[in-house]
Structure 1
Amino acid sequence: MTLSSLVAASTIPGPVRPAIMVVAFEGWNDAGDAASSAIKDIKAATGAVKVAGIGDDDYYDYQFSRPQVRRNGAGKRVVKWPTTRIYRASLPESPVDLLLVRGVEPTYRWKAFITEILTRAEEENVQGVMALGSLLADVPHTRPIQAAVSSDDPKVCEALGALPGSYEGPTGILGVLAQFSEAAGLPTLSIWAAVPHYVAQPPSPKAQLAILHRVEELLPLALDLHELGEDALAWERGVDALATGDADIAAYVQQLEQAQDETELPEATGEAIAREFERYLKRRHRPGAPGEEGPGTPGTGGQAPDTPGSSD
């Protein structure tokens, strides 16, 4: 079961198509910009259009979340202020649409900020919430980056195989959003990718790719991830080159590899293999999926590719 099918099964028909809200915020919840970049990819792939914006001065300390100077096409200087934008993507072949929320984590008045987002979500008939995040962790860049799916809703965990939430400690705006969403009765889950802490600077295409693979499993989406996959390989080769040039870093990476290999081999587990096969079938049977050709199409012999294809 996917989050979209779970939502569709419990939604009462109304004047506005039901939607799943997918959220990411730059800042504390977004190591390597992996989560916010994943939202940008979904927006581009679905042709989502802007339906609202939240940019109140009361939410931001501009000495902390500084505005950025940009030059437009005419070379004119423009100041870009921290804000949150909301987009809606229509998915005609799906029972649900997507409401994409991408912004900067606010400094002040988090409760009011979340209330404003959820008010807009209610107007857009949001029936489920997916929060995307990335965090720094003691993981090696040379191993597959895992994106964990978790929820504090027992029904979501049972239906989707998500891990029950167990984290205690400081939280970001995503943690507050999840609590408010669950209190509103919305099925809510989180997807978090682990970014190697010694390469924390953005971009982090390997973590971004892990998040998007998870999103594909849980939503009616088939994304073209070929280019991002190439970026992830290039990123790994670049970090390899830096690590081999420093004996201390190389030894540390080897230590992380050994620790992970001794505890788990996620790429070889039955669960991971089943998940990859499901992704393959999903791409093969969706008409017009990116990078796919139908049976008997010249150049493929009727066979699906061996691997999935890869501004505001």
Structure 2
Amino acid sequence: MKEEDLRIGCFKFSKPLPETDASYAFATLWPWIDVNSVGTLVLKELRDRFNAMEIARLSRPGTFFDFTRYRPTIHIQEDGIKEMIIPNTTIYYAKRHGDKDLVLIRMLEPHMNAELYIDSVLKVFKALNVKTYTLLGSMYDAVPHTRPLLVSGYNMGENIKDTLLKNLGILPIIYRGNSSIVNMVTKNAAESNIRVNVFIVSIPQYVILDEDYIGKMRLMEILNILYNIPVDKQDFEKALEQKNIIDERLEKAQEFKMLLPQLESAYDMRIRSIIREDENVIDTEMDEILWKSIDKDIGKA
């Protein structure tokens, strides 16, 4: 491959461009929808499980990122600087025999030149024949840790079956307000005949963890159903251990004991609204419970 062929958009490829008829792309967006590093954990799982290799990264990340906000990481020893890691958006690729190849991208939200960033990601998708793009993430929500984690989402593209999300137990996202410009990747991908899935797991607003295996497990369950990707049994054990720790810590919080029934009631109402196929309507009682829950400062687990 010629040197000039090693750049697509603003991405520089360190490996020859893989030859593929079709691939699935999985992405997360940090920090906008990566609460407790859930999306990052899922992508790492996919990288490790399928031996994905890094094939590209932005050639000049400073074109897009403010390094006073995304700080570089430095390694200093007695004889000086040994290593300096610059924040970047990297792309990994996994070749799978008998199934679609995987494109994995952990996107950092750009502070500038966002249109150029978005165009570059979409050019890579086109070059790698991406047919399905799945955005994975997590956000805080007024939900209890004592119930199965809710996942909200939507899909876009031609020939999309409306029953898919319902069959997976996915709540619809009904929202109007501030967002990330990187959502244009999702919108433009769908307009380019790429099937789009978005799955966001709701994390209890009082659970603050460096690595949330309960949230990871919830997203991996969906990927297992859709793409037959195995779930690591060790993650079950880590998720159970985390839940036990959360239970133990919150057992001592009296204010939380008073709030928990309200969170559980609001959760149960949301589930009933799905069963009634009335997802767009939140009754007055549920709305009141949700706002009371969100307004309370209940600390963290």
Superposed pair shares fold, TM > 0.5: yes
- 1:129-148 equivalences under 5 Å are 129-148=133-152
Identity of aligned residues (%): 20
Q: In the alignment, does 2:116 pair up with 1:112?
A: yes
| 1:137 shift after superposition | 0.2
CA distance in 1, matches of 2:261, 2:210: 23
Question: Number of residues paired by the alignment?
Answer: 251
CA distance in 2, matches of 1:157, 1:66: 42
Partner of 1:35: 39
With structure 1 as the length reference, what TM-score do the two structures score? 0.73
| 1:253 shift after superposition | 2.3
CA contact (8 A) 1:29 1:174 kept: no
Q: CA RMSD in A?
A: 2.7
CA contact (8 A) 1:34 1:203 kept: yes
Residue deviations 1:208-260 (CA, integer Å, cap 9, x gap): 1111111122224223x211111111111111122111111222223212332
CA distance in 2, matches of 1:234, 1:257: 22
1:169 to 177, 185, 197: 177
CA contact (8 A) 1:151 1:165 kept: no
Partner of 1:206: 214
CA contact (8 A) 2:61 2:87 kept: no
Q: In the alignment, does 2:191 pair up with 1:183?
A: yes
- 1:137-286 equivalences under 5 Å are 137-153=141-157, 155-158=159-162, 160-161=164-165, 166-223=174-231, 225-264=232-271
Partner of 1:102: 106
CA distance in 1, matches of 2:146, 2:81: 43
Partner of 2:48: 44
Partner of 2:132: 128
Residue deviations 1:27-51 (CA, integer Å, cap 9, x gap): 0111111011111111111111111
Matched residue SS, 1:264: helix
Q: 1:220 to 1:233 in 2, by over 3 A?
A: closer
Q: Is 202-211 or 150-159 further displaced after alignment?
A: 150-159
Q: 1:126 to 1:68 in 2, by over 3 A?
A: same
With structure 2 as the length reference, what TM-score do the two structures score? 0.75
Q: 1:42 to 1:152 in 2, by over 3 A?
A: same
Q: In the alignment, does 2:73 pair up with 1:68?
A: yes
CA distance in 2, matches of 1:119, 1:20: 15
AA aligned opposite 2:179: T
| 1:205 shift after superposition | 1.1
Q: Runs of 5+ in structure 1 lacking a partner?
A: 1-14, 270-312
Residue deviations 1:46-96 (CA, integer Å, cap 9, x gap): 111111112520111111111123479x996422211111111111021x2
CA contact (8 A) 1:148 1:193 kept: yes
1:17 to 14, 21, 41: 21
CA contact (8 A) 1:60 1:107 kept: yes
Partner of 2:62: 57
Q: Runs of 5+ in structure 2 lacking a partner?
A: 1-18, 276-301
Partner of 1:89: 94
CA distance in 1, matches of 2:229, 2:23: 14
CA distance in 1, matches of 2:220, 2:165: 17
